[in-house]
Amino acid sequence: MTSANPYDSRSTFDLSDGSQGVIFRLQALEDKGLTKLAKLPFSIRVLVEAALRNHDGFLVTDEDVKTIAGWQPRGARVEIPFIPARVILQDFTGVPAVVDIAACRNAMVDLGGDAAKVNPAVNVDLVIDHSVQVDTDGRHQDALLRNLDIEYKRNNERYEFLKWGQHNLDNFRAVPPGRGIVHQVNLEWIADVAFNKNGTYYPDSLVGTDSHTTMINGLGVLGWGVGGIEAEAVMLGQPVYMLAPDVVGFKLKGKLRAGVTATDMTLRIVEMLREKGVVGKFVEFYGGGLDSLSLADRATIANMAPEYGATCGFFPVDAQTIAYLRLSGRSDEHVANVEAYYRAQGLFRTDATPDPEFTDTLELDLAEVDPALAGPKRPQDRVNLSDMKTHFRHSLTAKVGHQGHGLSEDKLGTEIPIEGQDYSLGHGDVVIAAITSCTNTSNPAVMLAAGLLARNAAAKGLTTKPWVKTSLAPGSRVVTDYYDKAGLSDDLAKLGFNVVGYGCTTCIGNSGPLPPEIDAAITKGELVVGSVISGNRNFEGRVHNKVKASYLASPPLVVAYAIAGTLDVNFDTDPIGKDSAGNDVMLKDVWPSDEEIREVIASAINPEMFRAKYSDVTEEPRWDAIEVADSALYPWNGDSTYIQQPPFFQGITPELPPIQAISGAKVLLKLGDSVTTDHISPAGSIPADGPAGKYLISKGVPKAGFNSFGSRRGNHEVMMRGTFANVRIRNQIAPGTEGGYTTYWPSGEVEFVYDAAMKYVASGTPLVVLGGTQYGTGSSRDWAAKGTLLLGVKAVITKSFERIHRSNLVGMGVLPLCFAEGEGAEELGLDGSESFDIPIGDDVSPLQELEVTATKADGSTVKFKTTVRLDTPVEVDYYKNGGILQTVLRNMAKS
């Protein structure tokens, strides 16, 4: 319960109808000498407000309020609590989160408690957007309906389960399939910017089980992605515990040149911030350049915070925020009250606002941004459009790595004739061109640019190449409305960009199958083919397991590359194609002008579109027809291959078991730098010859019914079999292999990671994983941590961790350790064959130094220092309990 009037801060402010709203004024803290508000970054001010308003002397104490209010640019970073206003989920991560909540209800009964206690304590929205696949591509006019039908057939069990949650859990709302992408729906409809709870106003804030939750920071709503485990704890009333963040100020000045898109700008910012190093930090944008950016441009930048490594990329609320709320159909009364609250609270940015003080700063003149792509394997590897041809040719023969594919010179000319067609496929041919992902589909400027380019290209008789799988997956139905009003839908359709679904599709690996003849040609020629997508992620194996060169680009460039059909093109000097008369057409001949784009935005988009599409957003005939049980405990079905009761809470007792030292642990995997959660967590298609595929076949599921790993996240039996099984993962203790293989040390044989892990588990042998720098970058995939635990891994030892994955490991009771500065497996001469002894015990403390002993086969030992990456006392408590949820359950049972 919030204190009635902490620090004499409770006050009122005037609302638009003449009445008054309650406010917990930040100025009260300055009046008491606890802060200087004008010097605090806006993002920190939001944290201060949350602490002040939620002050109760228990979850949030006096010391917490003083610590956050006293934030200094280069001060000590101590633990603070943050209680977000709400939680947002998507279905891939949402299903296991709701599965865990359902399992917690069973566990609460086992502990002698009341199952009904296990209930979301804050508003939870789940948007089903990750399950649609491009089974039918954009060359088919009915692709949308065909893909939606397939989606429902594939996912009926999952949707029945989510419908049970919607029906039986309090404060839980679900948005059915075919309505939009979670982050765009959040931006356009869910976000309030200012909450009104019983007359008390406060900033909207959230955590979400998707790393791109950060997109909402473009709207001035503070939020970021967390692991499903951490989100579940927030759903059950726990704060997010974090170290008070460093805040890097990013100053924007000037404006973009003609023809340069928000996507180009964002890729430049990603590159700069990755180079700067902002992992685990807040980034806050400021400067006069903000005034030249639309709200959608800001959201594009904020969306890619995970790609530049930051916890969030925050834009303060200002006039652009208010204008967007009006454009997107929020009520006039609500918009007026949002502005009134933020001005009254000192959270509204204007041109007269003094620059806050930041931990560090960097600056970009927007006029210096060039058109660009990013790839072929990482989003921070930006390539100027004018350099693409040279870059790609070099990448073909460069050493295998982030920038190279390792082809020999004699293989460069490989051409494979396509069966039944009059063309061949070679290196660099684009086989997937997808307008997809919340990053860009939320931005009308780049989406309309793609439509206008399609119109101009179609008028000249240009078509997309027949080997390119094209698709258009808008982030909401509003996009289709403004395409229709602008008369651009038909032009996009002529080039193969019919709508295939309203969901994430290709960006998350749901690109669907390539045509069999294309797939066969890639395999036969060992071809390095390409994809160009308007997404945010292009890690190896993510877009499609047969596509090795994946590039991120603006929507109009996606269309351009679909027309060109190859990455081996310089659009400055090479034609994009030939017109109906056989004349060369250059990209500049079909690229729309900025004025043309502005005119279409002004004429084709209005608030009524948003109001109409969101008036029925929670309704969908197929969804409404699903029948569910009215039951506090979910009726688990032992035969289901989609939803199973997880084993995480089996045998839970009210008392804490003692921490056992890790002795004689063997290495399951030894990995290099920049291993992503895509490498670790199961994603994409399920191989029939892998452990997960064999399991499904044993359960009577035909290969055609496998669906994807993402769709089966509610079944731990499938997911643990797919952990560390990405087709591009390279385990150094299984040299010469690619994919989920390891050496089982007792026999010396190379086998599937899962099979070896189960042998170790059966023999009682603990396991460790060795890694390099930036371990666990990428999406906030909770199964990267859950699967690690279920395979018997007790500790992960790396040079450095990405924030979310480290937090998830702690949340599952897996010990994260970091080598000493300048050391790692290679530097210490560890080849992965050793046995490891880790003397962890009940006396473990935050960031404790621990000496690990590695014993080689000849009996010699290597002792080395590590840092225990339990960063706070709360994380120590989680580890002692075996995880976050076990901690929450024990506390609930006691109360």
SS (H, E, C) 652-705: CCCCCCCCCCEEEEEEEEECCCCCEHHHHCCCCECCCCCHHHHHHHHCCCCHHH
Are residues 145 and 75 part of one domain? no
Whole-number pLDDT of residue 892: 85
Determine the length of the chain: 895
Which stretch, 240-244, 427-431, 435-439, has highest mean pLDDT? 427-431
Last residue of a domain, one of 565, 588, 604: 604
CATH, residue 527: 3.30.499.10
Last residue of a domain, one of 570, 587, 604: 604
Task: Give mean pLDDT, residues 77-85.
Answer: 91
Residue of 151, 185, 140, 152 whose CA lies nearest to 499: 140
Where are any strands of DSSP class E within 427-509?
430-435, 469-472
Are residues 324 and 292 part of one domain? yes
Are residues 100 and 28 part of one domain? no
| 671 φ/ψ angles, rounded to the nearest 5 degrees | -125, 160
Q: Do residues 548 and 316 touch, judged by C-beta distance below 8 A?
A: no
**Within a domain: 104:** yes
Is the pLDDT confidence value at 2 over 60? Answer: no
**What DSSP letter does each residue of 737-776 carry, written as one string?**
--SSEEEETTTTEEEEHHHHHHHHHHTT--EEEE--SSBT
Is the pLDDT confidence value at 834 over 70? Answer: yes
Are residues 466 and 345 part of one domain? no
**Within a domain: 615:** no
Sheet containing 20-24: order of strands: 10-14, 20-24, 200-203, 194-197
For the chain, give the mean pLDDT: 95
Q: What is the band of 3 on the pLDDT scale with cuts at 50, 70, 90?
A: low
Q: How many CB atoms lie within 10 A of CB 877?
A: 15
Are residues 588 and 521 part of one domain? yes
Q: What is the band of 1 on the pLDDT scale with cuts at 50, 70, 90?
A: very low
Strand partners, 296: none
Structural domain for 790, as ranges: 662-894
Are residues 436 and 310 part of one domain? no
**Within a domain: 650:** no
CA distance to 137, 246, 301, per residue, from 431 (Å): 12, 42, 27
Are residues 174 and 54 part of one domain? no
Q: Do residues 473 and 502 touch, judged by C-beta distance below 8 A?
A: yes
Are residues 468 and 342 part of one domain? no
Task: Give mean pLDDT, residues 209-230.
Answer: 92
What is the DSSP-derived secondary structure letter of residue 8? G
pTM for the full predicted model: 0.85
Whole-number pLDDT of residue 780: 63
The CA distance from 376 to 363, in Å, is 26
Are residues 717 and 597 part of one domain? no
Whole-number pLDDT of residue 871: 87
Are residues 429 and 323 part of one domain? no
Is the pLDDT confidence value at 261 over 70? Answer: yes
Q: Do residues 101 and 209 touch, judged by C-beta distance below 8 A?
A: no
Exposure b/e, 531-558, CB count within 10 A at least 16 = b: bbbbbbbbbbbbbbbbbbbbbbbbbbbb
Last residue of a domain, one of 62, 82, 102: 82
**Within a domain: 148:** yes
CA distance to 103, 342, 406, 710, per residue, from 54 (Å): 29, 18, 56, 36
**Within a domain: 634:** no
**Within a domain: 622:** no
Within its chain, how far is the Cα of 547 from the centroid? 21
**Within a domain: 645:** no
Domain tally, the chain: 4
CATH, residue 816: 3.20.19.10
Of 177-186, 558-567, 682-691, 862-871, which gets the smallest average pLDDT? 682-691
Are residues 139 and 69 part of one domain? no
**Within a domain: 163:** yes
Are residues 91 and 77 part of one domain? no
